[in-house]
Structure 1
Amino acid sequence: MTDRCAWCGTDPLYVAYHDTEWGVPEHDPRALWEKLVLDGFQAGLSWITILRKRDAFREEFDGFDPERVARWDAARIDRALQNPGIIRHRGKIESAVKGARLFLDIEARDGFAPFLWSFVGGQPIQNRFAGMADVPTATPESTAMSKALKKRGFNFCGPVIVYAFMQATGMVNDHVTTCHRHAPLSRPQAAG
């Protein structure tokens, strides 16, 4: 039996996500924006709920193409609200559209990935937590990123949501030390 972080349990979808995606450093700006949007939709819900709906989200949100989503109008938002495959929360959908426009601005000025990775000095923070009880829900880095995102106009990006985003995108390695993914992701420039 492979040792894993306890949070993923035994659900095959969750285990696959843990084993192949969670904690792997992500530098693709579109993929980072998608994850930030999905973490915003997670607010008040469990990640497995979002993970089960991720394909429907990708389809509804035009493959998370920020240029396309930035052009959504009220009618397009209303259409998304009719899709039972996603979380139908007007505020979160409107936030995603606004976030697409903000993404395009940051991408043009600074680059979205360099902007986000600057909060960890451009390299994953390598934590060495023995158990999930040791893992924080927010850090000074997630608080700083949250404030910077909010200052630029993003919503649904508090320090806890942002820390979950940082964990998922490999900005921090929060696989516990007994997890089979910790060591491979501890190597410099870990790609998985």
Structure 2
Amino acid sequence: MLRTDCLKEIARLRGDALVVAVYSSAFEWIGISPHPLNFLSVGAMGQASSSALGFAIGLPDRRIIVLDGDGSLLMNLGSLVTIAGVAPANLTHFVCQNGCYEANGEHPIPGQDKISFSGFARSAGYRVVTEFSDLDTLRTELPGFMQAPGPSFATLHVRAGQKPELDYSLVHGPEARRQFQASLAATLDSRS
């Protein structure tokens, strides 16, 4: 499947979720689903799942979606056990598995033909675990998956789409931070 097509399907069902996206997925995501509650984790490889857990704990009434990469998640596999232990019902975790560190020159990830990210999540204790390698199946099953109480985990077997423009000012610029902070503050204020 093309990652872009998968992200479009997730965007269609996003609602008001806070989305934590990493590297190549982040740059595609901001074009597909621009929103002030996009938290773009570019430059901190492996930290998306941990950041998402913090948001899930702090915002228990809001869906938190993680758009992780296989190379990125390999940097922080321990987060799977921590997430499963906390068991936030509002956390939905996707890993885009393409077998390489795409953002760093497409070098192969270690053990790409042996490891199972869904197997890691299942062993860690995620409540719902699945895999998608067919876009029609994703379209059919994604609504139920995203509504299930989490933590939920899905491996998306993808290939990269068109290379997104890597405009780092969109993810690290002061305006992006200001918009995220203001939207997050409004979300917290509405809970009071």
TM-score, length-scaled by structure 1: 0.26
- Structure having the larger proportion of residues in helix: 1
Higher relative CO (Cα under 8 Å, sequence separation at least 6) belongs to: 1
- TM superposition score normalised by structure 2: 0.26
| Structure richer in strand, relative to its length | 2
